[in-house]
Amino acid sequence: MPELPEVETISRGLAAVLESRTVERAFFKRPDIMRKGSIKRPGLSGCRIDTVERTGKNVVIRFDNSFSMVVNLGMSGRLVVRRRGEAYEEMKRKHVHAGLVFPDGMELVFYDPRRFGSILITRSRDIRRVLGIAEDPFQMKPREMQERLEGRSASIKALLLDQKIISGLGNIYADETLFDARIHPLTPGGTVATQARAILSSARKILKKAIAHGGTTFRDYRTHDGERGSFQNHLAVYGRTGEECKRCAAGIERILVAGRSTHFCPRCQELTKRRPASLRSGNERRR
């Protein structure tokens, strides 16, 4: 489940290994992993990798011929650099969907068993615009975040997961952010618009810490080296259903919000103010 910290970790690792390398050839084995709007047959042979960076939850590899390869890892996707053919010793061949081969015998492999991931090749430099996603928590101004929340009746959890509102957060870090900000996940976005600054600052704090730990590995996520992250040992609520809240010792609860399992402390993140019925969403009932 690569979210911003995991993708940042992968991108940094790849940047160190790939930047200034020349591509011998590229391969794309499964057409269905290519995102719609992607350039179909990009000429990547012989071009050089300028930079590897992160945009939202995407790894962006920029080439010197103005092409960019945008990789979304979905939830089980991995990008690993290995000696040619070696990737298959640890990963099933049928799940390797694309890759870049380099002249010195190394290759970058895109592996994704669940195939929720995708690849987009574009000539545009504005990746966020091509993907239709918003700034991430490090880029977004509190004022902008506030405007995006104002008048919204959807739960703050659903809005934090919406990459068009703010990018980079997934299920884990949305829960962790709301715990830190002491906001109940079912709170309608509009009612916490004025807390935009606090939400952003919580998100940044959590994300920074997670990046410092190399991200969170529950099962699938690995760095470009195949290493695990360690932030799962520092999570306050995610995956801790029934365990004690680290702040108040109440039992962490798990409910379904926006179709996602959602973890929170019922005491620290109380749904306090009663809002007008017109703002109340239909599924505030706990399931």
Partner DNA sequence: AGCTTCGCCTGCTTGC
Partner DNA sequence: TGCAAGCAGGCGAAGC
Residues taking part in catalysis = 2-3, 57, 260
191 sits near DNA (criterion: CB under 7 A)? no
194 sits near DNA (criterion: CB under 7 A)? no
Nearer to DNA, 37 or 103 (CB): 37
Token pair for 78: 């991995």
Q: How far is the CB of 244 from DNA (least distance, A)?
A: 20
Token pair for 281: 């969403």
Please report, for residues 47, 71, 169, 216, 262, the alpha-carbon distance to residue 266 in angstroms, rounded to integers and kept in the order given.
Answer: 54, 37, 22, 24, 12
Give the residue, chosen from 11, 38, 55, 58, that forms a contact with DNA under the rule CB under 7 A.
Answer: 58
Please report, for residues 16, 76, 144, 165, 203, the alpha-carbon distance to residue 173 in angstroms, rounded to integers and kept in the order given.
Answer: 26, 17, 20, 15, 7
158 sits near DNA (criterion: CB under 7 A)? yes
Give the residue, chosen from 95, 184, 222, 224, that forms a contact with DNA under the rule CB under 7 A.
Answer: 95
Q: How far is the CB of 198 from DNA (least distance, A)?
A: 20
Kindly indicate which of the ranges 8-16, 71-79, 80-88, 228-236 contains the residues binding DNA, using the contact rule CB under 7 A. Answer: 71-79
Task: Sketch the per residue contact string, 128 through 157, with DNA: x for CB under 7 A, - otherwise.
Answer: ---xx-------------------xxxx--
Give the residue, chosen from 13, 170, 185, 215, that forms a contact with DNA under the rule CB under 7 A.
Answer: 170
Listing DSSP states for 58-121 in one string gives: EEEEEETTS-EEEEE-TTT-EEEEEETTTHHHHS-GGGEEEEEE-TTSEEEEEE-TT---EEEE
Please report, for residues 60, 68, 143, 200, the alpha-carbon distance to residue 211 in angstroms, rounded to integers and kept in the order given.
Answer: 18, 24, 25, 16
The binding site for DNA (CB under 7 A) comprises 1, 3, 32, 35-36, 56-58, 72, 74-76, 92, 95, 113-116, 131-132, 152-155, 158, 161, 163, 170-172, 189, 219, 258-261, 281-283
